[in-house]
Amino acid sequence: MPELPEVETTCRGLAPHAIDRNIHQIIVRDSRLRWPVEAAVQSQTVGRSIRDLIRRAKYILFKLDDGHLLIHLGMSGSLRISDGDTPHEKHDHLDICLDSGFIIRYRDPRRFGSVHWTADDPYQHWLLKDLGPEPLSEAFNGTYLYERSRGRRSAVKLFIMDSHNVVGVGNIYANEALFLAGIRPQTQAGKISRPRYERLAQSIKKILNDAIALGGTTLRDFISGSGTPGYFRQELNVYDRGDQPCRSCSRPLRESVINQRATYYCGNCQR
């Protein structure tokens, strides 16, 4: 599913088509997403203009003249620009029809994503209000991770995937960042030193920035807002490379499971 770079890429792809366009119509073909699509998503948005598109964590915020649309892509969701003549396909659950004739089309086979409307400060929405800092902000750094992790006994991989601690880091980039930082994923978060957290924070920033620069990672079906795949897959050092040679030391990579999630690391380079 989309992690931060894929959501950012989606946002950037949509923005030129979306900003300053008026919402002409919203078609909801299936409201049974992670959270039911409420009537307000249609009733409060039609006739409004989109003034900005902002990413917060893995949410895409459509700033309207009045209120905000919030969209999360879940595990299998995508938002892409479609021309008005393209017929909808299976799993195309919602269309945002613009006055330009283009459609922002939401597809989500597994329906783990969701769409909301809020009149109030979107950052105070119940789904957003308890989120941790953005990983690419200055507030996120080694000192923050170090202090936040004291006394935590869970695996560092889970610690950085917990959106209360830092947002946007999913399974792919958690694996990749820990490889770059030379830290074993199963290490207890509370036992890692400050200098190692400095390196981990920098690794997370680097991996996310590099992935954004290449349009994200396409494993099977991710496509950007403008319809192109991401090219970061070829840059992955460990994810989905169990038993293949480490790109740094050539020893076979290891694969294990942490909290029901596939975990990849190099037993030699990561300690």
Q: Which residues are catalytic?
A: 2-3, 58, 261
The reply on whether position 1 binds DNA by CB under 7 A is yes
The reply on whether position 260 binds DNA by CB under 7 A is yes
CB of 72 to DNA, least distance (A): 6
| Residue positions counted in the chain | 271
The reply on whether position 158 binds DNA by CB under 7 A is yes
Number of residues that bind DNA (CB under 7 A): 43
List, in sequence order, every residue forming a beta bridge with 155; answer none if it has no partner: 188
| CA–CA distance, 211 with 185 (Å, rounded to integer) | 20
CB of 99 to DNA, least distance (A): 30
- DSSP secondary structure string, 90-148? TTEEEEEEETTS-EEEEE-TT---EEEEESS-GGGSTTTTT----TTSTT-SHHHHHHH
Q: Which residue, 23 or 258, has its beta carbon nearer to DNA?
A: 258
Q: Which residue, 78 or 82, has its beta carbon nearer to DNA?
A: 78
Of positions 55, 58, 80, 254, contacts DNA by CB under 7 A: 58
Of positions 189, 204, 266, 269, contacts DNA by CB under 7 A: 189
Q: How far is CA 152 from the centre of its chain?
A: 25
Least Cα distance to 178 among 194, 164, 158, 163 occurs for 158
CB of 225 to DNA, least distance (A): 13
| CA–CA distance, 248 with 176 (Å, rounded to integer) | 13
Q: Which residues bind DNA (CB under 7 A)?
A: 1-3, 6, 32, 34, 57-58, 72, 74-76, 90-91, 109-112, 127, 151-155, 158, 163, 170-172, 189-190, 216-222, 230, 259-262
